[in-house]
Amino acid sequence: MNRPSIRLFAALVAACGFRSIVDAQQMDMDAMQRWGSARVIYYTVEGVHSGAAPVTARMGGVADVVDRVSMAFEWSLSESKLLKITTLKNYPSEVKNLRDREPKCNPPVLKGSFELATFLEVANGPGGALDVKVERSYPVVEVAQFCTASRKSVPAEKTVSVQSMAVPSPVLMAMGAPPTDKLSYSADKKSMIVKDGNWTWTFTPSVTPPAK
């Protein structure tokens, strides 16, 4: 392993708090060398949301929402820096089981499409994370007034927020770091799976560009 790779490895171990664990684990030194010497790491990422989400910006109204986004980007491991986004694709949200926050109240009625998360932009953020600009689109929604009375129309609305996304290092797999409740690995040990609330993110790194 060359000196930059050793320094990078030590920094990652210290940052992740895995020093005692790494001492007891069998590391894949070939993989360590491969990741450490790569000028660019190519990530493909798949995010899936599955769970409850509000369907109005301000009034009671909840649904079970499935949403998905995929992207690919080039990453500098030594700098913890985004080099380039190569693809970014959003998918329509699937909405089921509309209900009020109070079970006894009448459920809301959507008068258009609800979009939980549309990724607009991905950029470098502080601390080696990604800053992701996300739009949420609420349609016109009819909600019951006073729980079961006549319905009131809530205007459509869009909100935009910037969310931080950490990029897990493939060195974690190479050094044999054990899975946690937030980070696990695919059965073939080629992908890292990150849980963040109702979102599940699958990060697949490679030292070669993905096939087009």
Non-local CB neighbours of 17 within 8 Å, separated by 6+ positions: none
Averaged pLDDT for residues 163-187: 91
Mean confidence (pLDDT) of the chain: 87
**pLDDT at position 146 over 90:** no
Averaged pLDDT for residues 69-87: 96
Calpha distance 86→42 (Å, rounded): 10
**pLDDT at position 30 over 90:** no
Asked if 69 and 98 count as a contact pair (C-beta separation under 8 A), the reply is: no
Task: Give 64's Cβ-side CA count (13 Å radius).
Answer: 3
Highest mean pLDDT: which range of 22-26, 110-114, 208-212? 110-114
Q: pLDDT: is 150 or 120 the higher one?
A: 120
**pLDDT at position 176 over 50:** yes
**pLDDT at position 50 over 80:** yes
| Per-residue pLDDT, 107 | 92
| Per-residue pLDDT, 10 | 39
Band of pLDDT at residue 58, cut at 50, 70 and 90: confident
Averaged pLDDT for residues 82-106: 95
pTM: 0.85
Beta bridge partners of 64: 52, 96
